[in-house]
Amino acid sequence: EVQLVESGGGSAQAGGSLRLSCTASGFRVDASDMGWYHQAPGNECQLVSIISTDGRTQYADSVKGRFTISRDDAKKAVYLQMNNLKPEDTAVYYCAADLLWPLRLAGYVCPPRRWGQGTQVTVSS
């Protein structure tokens, strides 16, 4: 069974930091580009970062310079270090895999199903 288990969210003050973790199973993680997207209530999904199988990274303009994505294929894990958090970062964050649903920074469409429960990030001003 395919699973993406997210953790590490919580509440933070603006300017603070959080580190999200995702543990994947049920598919070849090392063969997939991985990413993180978020969805705030009533909003569309926004993909914020992608890390390719060879470690190249991409970021949405809204998080560039503040967030860092990384992966550990031995642990089947993907991480998102979130620094200098802003209230507009508040959302539920989900781990994503290109093998499950295409990853595109521009025009990302919410996947047809969730493979994990997501993790809530709340940033107060």
Q: pLDDT tens digits for 46-61?
A: 999 999 999 999 999 9
Provide the b/e sequence for 36-70 (b: ≥16 CB within 10 Å). bbbbeeeeebbbbbbbeeeeeebbbeebeebbbbe
Q: Which tokens sit at 20? A: 């999200």
> Which residues lie across from 67 on neighbouring strands?
82
DSSP 51-89: E-TTS-EEE-TTTTTTEEEEEEGGGTEEEEEE-S--GGG
Q: From CA 120, how far away is CA 74, in angstroms rounded?
A: 26
Q: What is the pLDDT of residue 69?
A: 98
Q: Say what the pLDDT of residue 51 is.
A: 98
Q: What's residue 80's pLDDT?
A: 98
Question: For 65-89, what is each residue's pLDDT tens digit?
Answer: 999 999 999 999 999 999 999 999 9
- Over residues 20-27, mean pLDDT: 97
pLDDT given at position 13 = 98
What per-residue confidence (pLDDT) applies to 40? 79
Structure confidence at residue 57 (pLDDT): 98
pLDDT at 43: 82
pLDDT band for position 39 (cuts 50, 70, 90): confident
